[in-house]
Amino acid sequence: MTKRDVFEYALVRVVPRMERGECFNAGVIVYCRARSYVAARTHLDEAKLLALDPKADVAGVRAALRAVAGVCSGGERAGQAAGDDAGRRFRWLIAPRSTVVQPGPVHTGLTADPEAEVERLLDLLVR
């Protein structure tokens, strides 16, 4: 039997206009403490973004999504979180910072392969 570890994940949502309350999923962040693993995958549906807000800053939203992936990878791309461990980077990412690109609630599961889990959740919940 393959060893399965607990993992946590949060969706990354785009909220083009706060006053309307509309949002859509644009990424997923997965954290597995047992494996010191944190990663994010994103997919921006530009047509959906522009349908909800024709004046949306597409480049700004893309930059914010790239920043999420950068924090996960650590090192220079992580900015202030560069020296933090995987768990602290995950907690940093799930704390709301932006009105346009926001983390969703945290969910949990079991996985034998966190890397595959990120891709599965991206396909299932974002694409």
User: What's the pLDDT at 43?
Assistant: 97
Q: What is the pLDDT of residues 14-56, one digit of tens each?
A: 999 888 889 999 999 999 999 999 999 999 999 999 999 999 9
Q: What is the dihedral of CA 51, 16, 90, 107, to 10 degrees?
A: -70
Q: What is the pLDDT of residues 54-80, one digit of tens each?
A: 999 999 999 999 989 888 887 677 677
Q: Where are the domains of the chain?
A: 5-125
pTM for this one? Answer: 0.91
Rounded CA Rg of the chain = 15
Contact 15, 22 (CB under 8 A): yes
Q: Which amino acid is at 78?
A: A
Of 122, 100, 116, 117, nearest to 41 by C-alpha is: 122
Angle between helices 58-73 and 86-93 (to 10 degrees): 160
Please name the residue that has the structure tokens 């999504």.
Answer: 65
Residue 84 confidence (pLDDT) above 90: no
User: What's the pLDDT at 78?
Assistant: 66
